[in-house]
A and B are shown apart, each in its own frame.
Chain A
Amino acid sequence: MNQRKDNYRAALRREPVEPPPLAPRVTTLSNRYVRVTIELDADVQRRLDRWVTPAATLVTGTARTALSVVAALTERVPPSDSGTRGRP
């Protein structure tokens, strides 16, 4: 047999690197009569983070802007009784 050719063949047969499997989160709910086991895919958290974080940021930003606008408007309106009391 040709050793070099065998080495070449072995090199070409390299398997692709698989990512390690994600361990699911397991929760068990049980009472006297029923026992329920829930397995949550570990990737769910990552997906939720991906979708929830931008939405939460948007809501927070909008609220902050609205409060700023309200605060600015409030500062512009003078108190209704300022400068009138005490005049002769």
Chain B
Amino acid sequence: MADVLLSCAFVNLKPGVGKTTSAVWLAHALCAMDVPPLLVDSDPAGSALRWSELAGGFPFPVVALPVGDVHRCIDDFLGGRQAVVLDAPQLEDHARIARGVMRHADEWIVPVTPAPIELDRMAPIQAEMGEVQSLRAEPARTAVLLNRTNRRESTRTGPDADAREVLAERGFDVLDTQIARLDLYSQSFGGPVQVENTAYMDLAGELLKRREGA
């Protein structure tokens, strides 16, 4: 793999958990931080690419690679860019593509809403991640991103805090940054993204810091 600063993929078992939204917003945040990214849309639904089209283009390239050997193709499109953000399809329907994405990305981010129905999927996701780790030369870092939280900031009590605590108990690395349930994000598909002063800038900063520490 080419020497990139950050290669991260948003993965989950199910659709509709915020993978595409998170990928698009994170790519904008990296761009705003002068870390030019490549956004790889590996979901056959092609939502990230469609979003870019509707928005009149993003300030970084978006390529659609909904193929099982995506990990072998990405370097051809990097063009010296320092970051790759991958939008993986849901594992339950497109396991081969999602595994290809996970073979490329050094950081796997699992967006999770603090709710029992989403936490219930974590054990199968963890099993899947274990299988893909065995295919890699070096293990990927994994992290949980609390998404659609009740509060903007971390709290000491409430659903967000409880989810954070029990995920940590089960050995998951939960990112400090959390993404609140806001119309700003949920209604953003198809439009231009104004990422300044949002949690995604914090997320980009945290991920880059994790990369430096690794």
Contacts and interface: CB of A to CB of B under 8 A. Distances in A.
Interface of A: 2, 4-5, 7-17
Contact of A4 (B123, B162, B170): B162
A12 B127 contact: no
Nearest to B167: A12
B169 interface: yes
A43 to B, nearest CB: 20
Contact of A2 (B123, B162, B167, B169): B162
Given A5-B162, A8-B163, A16-B127, 11 more contacts: A2-B162, A4-B159, A5-B165, A7-B116, A8-B114, A8-B116, A11-B120, A11-B122, A12-B170, A14-B122, A16-B124
Interface in B167-183: 167, 169-170
Interface of A, secondary structure class, is: helix
Contact of B119 (A2, A8, A16): A8
Interface of B: 114, 116-117, 119-120, 122-124, 127, 159, 162-163, 165-167, 169-170
A9 B169 CA distance: 9
A16 B116 contact: no
A17 B13 CA distance: 14
A2 B159 CA distance: 11
Interface of B, secondary structure class, is: helix
B162 A16 contact: no
A9 B164 CA distance: 11
* Of listed B117, B120, B170, residue having the most chain A CB within 10 A: B120
A2 to B, nearest CB: 7
B128 to A, nearest CB: 10
Contacts of B165: 5
Contacts of A5: 162, 165-166
Contacts of B116: 7-8, 10-11
B52 to A, nearest CB: 35
Contacts of B114: 8
B162 A11 contact: no
Contacts of B119: 8, 11-12
Contacts of A4: 159, 162
Nearest to A8: B166
